[in-house]
């Protein structure tokens, strides 16, 4: 075999390997930017469902084209903030969330009568109590979402306008266009499919 033919075979193999890597890289980048994204949980705010440094995969399609339901865990950037938060959806548009006697009530108006039901929080330990924060016990959701941490004693959420003063016009609602991802899979320390 001539040196020229051997060199051509090597170049063809290198080109073939580079083409394969570009193709695979393109698929990975497409999935990463348009379908799903890895994310690491920072802090203990979603304990016990999520722990510090849990590795999660988040679905980027549902917030754009699908339905977000009560109980879903989402990653979003709150109004007037720049850092992504992870929270659980509690209240939906046209509902009122009330905090009474360490419970969360979801209230809806039906034929001019307000009907309230205690929120099923089976994802929380039995001893978790929800207290009012920042002097507010009632939240009327007009257009977007009301969210809370699972670790109700640890940090701030929609109950206190994400650490801002709700009385200064800050919103406790999360606008849909601020939602980045819906949590789909948790890998560490335990595998969990939502």
Q: Which CATH number does the domain housing residue 56 bear?
A: 2.10.109.10
Whether residues 18 and 93 fall in one domain: no
Whether residues 23 and 110 fall in one domain: no
Whether residues 21 and 106 fall in one domain: no
Do residues 75 and 83 lie in contact, with contact meaning Cβ atoms separated by under 8 Å?
Answer: no
pLDDT digits (tens, 9 = 90+) for 89-114: 999 999 999 998 888 999 988 777 78
Mark whether 4 is an active-site residue: no
Q: Integer distance in angstroms from the first to the last C-alpha of the chain?
A: 59
Domain count for the chain, please give it.
2
Whether residues 49 and 2 fall in one domain: no
Whether residues 53 and 30 fall in one domain: no
Provide the residue range defining the domain that includes 156: 41-193
* List 2, 5, 19, 87, catalytic entry: 87
Confidence (pLDDT) at 190 = 56
Q: How far apart are CA 91 and CA 69, in angstroms?
A: 9
Q: How far apart are CA 131 and CA 14, in angstroms?
A: 63
Low-confidence ranges of the chain (pLDDT < 70): 1, 32-36, 62-66, 187-194
Confidence (pLDDT) at 94 = 92
Confidence (pLDDT) at 92 = 93
Whether residues 90 and 73 fall in one domain: yes
Whether residues 72 and 141 fall in one domain: yes
* List 45, 155, 158, 171, catalytic entry: 45
Whether residues 114 and 153 fall in one domain: yes
Count of Cβ atoms closer than 10 Å to residue 114 Cβ: 11
Confidence (pLDDT) at 64 = 60
Q: Which residue has the tokens 């959806």?
A: 89
Confidence (pLDDT) at 151 = 83
CA 49 to chain CA centroid, nearest Å: 13
Whether residues 30 and 88 fall in one domain: no
Q: How far apart are CA 74 and CA 41, in angstroms?
A: 12
Joined tokens for residue 159: 């109950």
Whether residues 24 and 49 fall in one domain: no
Confidence (pLDDT) at 66 = 66
Whether residues 112 and 56 fall in one domain: yes
Q: How far apart are CA 76 and CA 176, in angstroms?
A: 9
Mark whether 87 is an active-site residue: yes
Whether residues 8 and 82 fall in one domain: no
């Amino acid at each position: 075999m001539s040196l020229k033919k051997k060199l051509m075979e090597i170049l063809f193999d290198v080109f073939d390997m580079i083409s394969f890597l570009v193709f695979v890289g393109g698929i990975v980048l497409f999935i990463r930017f348009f379908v799903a994204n890895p994310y690491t949980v920072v802090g203990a705010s979603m304990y016990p469902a999520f722990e510090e440094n849990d590795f999660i995969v988040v679905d980027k399609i549902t917030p754009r084209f699908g339905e977000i339901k009560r109980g879903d865990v989402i990653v979003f950037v709150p109004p007037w903030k720049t850092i992504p938060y992870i929270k659980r959806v509690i209240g939906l548009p046209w509902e009122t969330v009330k905090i009474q006697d360490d419970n969360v009530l979801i209230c809806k108006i039906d034929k001019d009568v307000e009907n309230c039901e205690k929120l099923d929080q089976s994802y929380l330990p039995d001893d978790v109590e929800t207290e009012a924060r920042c002097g507010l016990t009632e939240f009327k959701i007009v257009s977007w979402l009301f969210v809370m941490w699972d670790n109700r004693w640890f940090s701030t959420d929609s109950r206190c306008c994400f650490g801002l003063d709700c009385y200064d016009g800050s919103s406790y609602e999360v606008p849909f266009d601020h939602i980045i991802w819906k949590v789909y899979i948790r890998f560490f320390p335990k595998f969990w499919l939502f």
